[in-house]
Amino acid sequence: MTRYRGDTGARAASNEDTRRLIDASVRLAAEASRMFIPEPNIADRHYWLETMMNHIPDYIYAKDLEGRFLIANHATVSDCGFEKMQDILGKNDFDIHAPELAAHFAADERRVIETGEPLFGIEERVAVLKGPDRWLMTSKLPLRDKQGSTIGIVGVSRDITELKRSERMLVGQARLLEMIATRAPIEQFFTELILLIESQMPGISGSILTLSPDGKHLLHGAAPSQAPAYSAAIHGVAIGPKVGSCGTAAFTGEPVLVADILTDPLWEDYKAIAAPYSYRSCWSTPIRSYEGKVLGTFALYSAQPGLPSDEHNELILMAAHLAGIAIERQQAEERIHFMAHHDALTGLPNRLMFDAKVAAALQQAQGSGRWVALAFLDLDNFKLVNDSLGHHAGDEMLRIVADRMRACVRKSDMIVRVGGDEFIIMLNGLPTERDLVLSRFEKIRSAIAAPMMLSGRSLQVSCSMGVVCYPDHGDTAIDLVANADSAMYRAKEIGRNNLQLFNVEMAAKAHEKLLHQEELRDAIARQEFVLHYQPQVNLHTGRVFAAEALVRWQHPERGLVTPADFIPLAEETGLIVAIGDWVLNAACRQNKAWQDAGLPPIIVSVNVSARQFSEGDCVSRVAAALRDSGLEACYLELELTESLIMQDVPAAIATMHELEALGVQLAIDDFGTGYSSLSALKSFPVSRLKIDRSFVQDLPGDEDDRAITGAIISLAQKLNLRVIAEGVETQAQVDFLRAAGCTEIQGYFFSKPLPTTDFERVFSVCHASKLIAEVDAA
């Protein structure tokens, strides 16, 4: 027997086993002492004692002061390699065991003899003659004669191998679950799992293989006790119906227990690989996900042919189950990581990942004499696709475009989606040749522009690109992206569907735009806006019945700035929401003030931009403006453009109904320029259509415009809607519109938009009927 102590050491005997062992040891010591006292019935006692000892499976023995066996029970005798007790009597441990082990036993026993103190519950791992190491719990006590003098020792050892195994199993399982919970590296988890199973099944080595993402190959997971060369030979093996134990188990999804590798047909093509390692049996079980998907295999190899016992099978299933949990957990984490760094729609990396990679690419390019080129790309008229074919078609288009771009770049390049239809492409390590760089991006543009099938139609989409090259056009990722963005805007400005390389003029323009933006922000803070009002006249009554509120910027240096010069920037930057809010409140206040001043009540009409309308609290802002000003809702009209409504028809209808419920009137502005379907129009809770100026300006001469305005007027009549023509400048236009049935008119013919006081004068002094009379007279 060989004994290892380092890993456990002596432990206080506190459990029930130890207590019983102590009691037995004390009784045995007393009995052994009595054996040396001549008693009349000693023979009987001797016989009883020997019989009792031989029936006990624990090792029981007594030794003299020189360590020679005085007595030993059957278990001790046979496990020390003898047949009967007489064979062991008089021998010491040095005669039986290896010198090192014998010396350990002798040292313990010497201590007991010298101190007179017993040693209780020593846990020791011992190598026995046959089979695997065993764990013993040993107690040694002084053997005393009648006078109380120590004449030797009595030893008792119990085999606690099974106990130790289940203890190890419990601790091991807890540790593995903790590893899953604390996200320990999966290879480390696999290794611990295999070592745990191997500790329960001596002579057996385990391996874990994982299924490749394409589900076709097995990849090395862990095999701590196998030769690395064998693991390497298995790594990457294609699964199939006759691919050893693991390849077959992964393929069929069923356990494959091969009792003899040398003869089993499943191993026919693989036994040569296993031969140098003397593997004879291999039992493999699929590792499955919670839903039953195969994730890999857990396999045990043995040098002996044979099949696993029930107990072994239980262990294998438990191991495969734990491995499944760990793999699923890891896959979930990988998915979360992927989602955090990628765009869900296209699968392209997102801005987070881009920032890190661009920084690395720029660093690598420093002093390399190569360029890193970035292109900011925006699809042309993508909104039209969304508006006309719906968001599903728009999404599909983005996916197709992403795939086409991906196919055009190398692995070291990168494409990210930074907004709805905006992408950034980074090409790495390019020669410093302007034409070559541009041709690479032009290739991507042509790939995008190829026809594609969407919702059963063949479509083509073009794109505008702005290109920058590092280090020529910026030092940092932020500067480069901003400059590429400016170049892209230039490409849009000059008609879309083209590519622009960044230059300094663009930078100046971008800078100027930034300054305007800041100025506009300050203007909002300082409330530098004023409203002008343009009268709307009813041709029947000749009355001014409404006024459109039109904003102007009272610039401290530039004077009165028209909305066309700042509304587009305000819309682009979102500042329109604050400006629109100011307009709404000011218009409501002014209308109430006119009413309070005794002027006949009129409707004030306010333009609402798309950003303003889609803000979550649009309805409550309108309600607040009415409440704060005290204006009755029926004197407020909101003008919504067709394109605004068509961006998201169901949401727009819902908001429009909420506004209608407040009592506010709704009108569709610029009618005829958008894409509203006539069927959708029925469901809009609007009371008025506003014919766009572009259809009025060439009336009555232009045949098409006559047809369009005529159609809009009769459509409005059929749908029971009022209709107003805007941009009316001439008598001929008035005459045509009146004849066509349009009775509401707005335009320079009657009045330009006027500052408040001028409007009041026109409205009160020069009443609309007078205006009409003048018109008729003219």
Ligand X SMILES: Nc1nc2c(ncn2[C@@H]2O[C@H](COP(=O)(O)O[C@H]3[C@@H](O)[C@H](n4cnc5c(=O)[nH]c(N)nc54)O[C@@H]3COP(=O)(O)O)[C@@H](O)[C@H]2O)c(=O)[nH]1
Closest contact distance (angstroms) between CB of 497 and ligand X is 26
User: 223 vs 550, which CB is nearer to ligand X?
Assistant: 550
Closest contact distance (angstroms) between CB of 409 and ligand X is 41
The radius of gyration of the chain from alpha carbons, rounded to an integer in Å, stands at 46
Q: Does 744 bind ligand X (CB under 6 A)?
A: no
Closest contact distance (angstroms) between CB of 367 and ligand X is 51
Q: Does 551 bind ligand X (CB under 6 A)?
A: yes
| Amino acid at the residue 637 | E
Contact in structure between 452 and 379 (CB atoms under 8 Å): no
Tokens of 736: 């045509």
Beta carbons within 8 Å of 150's beta carbon, 6+ residues apart? 65, 113, 116, 142, 143, 144
Q: Does 636 bind ligand X (CB under 6 A)?
A: no
Q: Does 535 bind ligand X (CB under 6 A)?
A: no
CB atoms within 10 A of CB 650: 9
Span from 519-527, 536-544, 621-629, 727-735 in contact with ligand X (CB under 6 A):
727-735
Q: Does 324 bind ligand X (CB under 6 A)?
A: no
Closest contact distance (angstroms) between CB of 656 and ligand X is 17
Q: Does 563 bind ligand X (CB under 6 A)?
A: yes
Among 101, 179, 322, 567, binds ligand X (CB under 6 A): 567
Q: Does 192 bind ligand X (CB under 6 A)?
A: no
Q: Does 221 bind ligand X (CB under 6 A)?
A: no
Among 64, 442, 479, 729, binds ligand X (CB under 6 A): 729
Q: Does 747 bind ligand X (CB under 6 A)?
A: yes
Contact in structure between 326 and 318 (CB atoms under 8 Å): no
User: 418 vs 740, which CB is nearer to ligand X?
Assistant: 740
Among 137, 689, 727, 772, binds ligand X (CB under 6 A): 727
Tell which residue, 27, 318, 371, has the closest CA to residue 194: 318
Closest contact distance (angstroms) between CB of 771 and ligand X is 15
Tell which residue, 643, 603, 622, 611, has the closest CA to residue 724: 603
Span from 11-19, 131-139, 296-304, 561-569 in contact with ligand X (CB under 6 A):
561-569
Distance CA 210, CA 778 (A): 91
Query: Total binding residues for ligand X by CB under 6 A?
Result: 23
Contact in structure between 696 and 725 (CB atoms under 8 Å): yes
Q: Does 560 bind ligand X (CB under 6 A)?
A: no
Q: Does 550 bind ligand X (CB under 6 A)?
A: yes
Tell which residue, 149, 157, 147, has the closest CA to residue 64: 149
Tell which residue, 609, 612, 606, has the closest CA to residue 626: 606
Among 318, 583, 623, 689, binds ligand X (CB under 6 A): 583
Cα-based torsion angle of the residue sequence 519, 522, 527, 529 in order, rounded to the nearest 10 degrees:
10
Q: Does 405 bind ligand X (CB under 6 A)?
A: no
Q: How far is CA 174 from CA 8, 185, 190, 322, 325, in A?
A: 20, 16, 14, 11, 14
What is the H or E stretch that residue 284 is in? strand 281-288
Q: Does 562 bind ligand X (CB under 6 A)?
A: yes
Q: Does 338 bind ligand X (CB under 6 A)?
A: no
Closest contact distance (angstroms) between CB of 504 and ligand X is 32
Closest contact distance (angstroms) between CB of 564 and ligand X is 5
Tokens of 185: 């590296």
Q: Does 753 bind ligand X (CB under 6 A)?
A: yes
| Amino acid at the residue 305 | P
Contact in structure between 222 and 196 (CB atoms under 8 Å): no
Q: Does 669 bind ligand X (CB under 6 A)?
A: yes
| Amino acid at the residue 314 | E
Closest contact distance (angstroms) between CB of 558 and ligand X is 15
The Cα angle at residue 313 between residues 178 and 249, in degrees rounded to 5: 90
User: 548 vs 642, which CB is nearer to ligand X?
Assistant: 548
Decide: residue 86, CB within 10 A, 0-12 exposed, 13-18 middle, 19+ buried: exposed
Closest contact distance (angstroms) between CB of 738 and ligand X is 16
Among 84, 707, 748, 761, binds ligand X (CB under 6 A): 748
Binding site for ligand X (CB under 6 A): 534, 548, 550-551, 562-564, 567, 580, 583, 607, 609, 669-670, 693, 726-729, 746-748, 753
